[in-house]
């Protein structure tokens, strides 16, 4: 079992370079709703950050039920991560300024001072990941072993991590 600091480092490495994640919230009628969001480029310390419109449905859903799931998939690295946590809406202009990037202007034409721009902070409680061989040869070997053995898992890694 990893200690918290080691788990954070490992999770950060797994999700690094995965630009778009799928965030799932709970709608008022209990349905699960998923949508793509870009993870803000900040060193992962146990919190994930996303920019959003303050008047979006997900903001209302988070206010009613802060439990969310964030899924990352890197087909190229053959890595898949599911993160569970508690979300909150952050309207702090200094934090928005700190996380602002020019690419965000595409979604927020008013820039970092756009009054409809806010942040979603996800405090990660736990994560589960599947990390398989990322190269073509590694994948081929994994599939070949899958065909002849009941445990090809020696070439892949699966773990549940608790951060809180």
Domain boundaries, the chain: 4-162
**Residue environment code for 125-144, b if the CB has 16+ CB neighbours within 10 A, otherwise e:** eebebebbbeeeeeeeebee
User: pLDDT by residue (tens digit) across 140-157?
Assistant: 434 444 454 554 444 468
Low-confidence ranges of the chain (pLDDT < 50): 135-146, 148, 151-155
What pLDDT, on the 0 to 100 scale, is given for residue 134? 56
**Measured distance CA(19)–CA(158) in Å, rounded:** 22
The CATH number of 4-162, from 2.30.110.10, 2.60.60.20, 1.20.1730.10, 2.60.40.1190, is 2.30.110.10
What pLDDT, on the 0 to 100 scale, is given for residue 147? 52
Which residues does 63 contact at the CB level (< 8 Å), separation at least 6?
89
What pLDDT, on the 0 to 100 scale, is given for residue 133? 72
């Amino acid at each position: 079992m990893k200690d918290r600091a080691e788990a954070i480092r490992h999770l950060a490495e797994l999700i690094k370079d995965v630009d778009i994640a799928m965030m799932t919230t709970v709608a008022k009628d209990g349905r699960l709703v998923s949508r793509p969001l870009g993870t803000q480029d900040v060193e992962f310390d146990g919190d994930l950050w996303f920019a959003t419109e303050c008047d979006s449905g997900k903001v209302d859903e988070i206010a009613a039920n802060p439990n969310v799931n964030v899924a990352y998939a890197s087909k190229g690295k053959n890595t898949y991560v599911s993160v569970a946590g508690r979300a909150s809406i952050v309207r702090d202009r200094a934090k928005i300024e700190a996380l602002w990037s020019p690419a965000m202007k595409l979604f927020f034409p008013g820039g970092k001072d756009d009054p409809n721009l806010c942040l979603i902070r996800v405090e990660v409680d736990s994560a589960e990941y599947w990390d398989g061989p990322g190269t073509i040869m590694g994948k081929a070997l994994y599939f070949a072993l899958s065909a002849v053995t009941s445990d090809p898992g020696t070439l892949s890694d699966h773990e549940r991590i608790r951060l809180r």
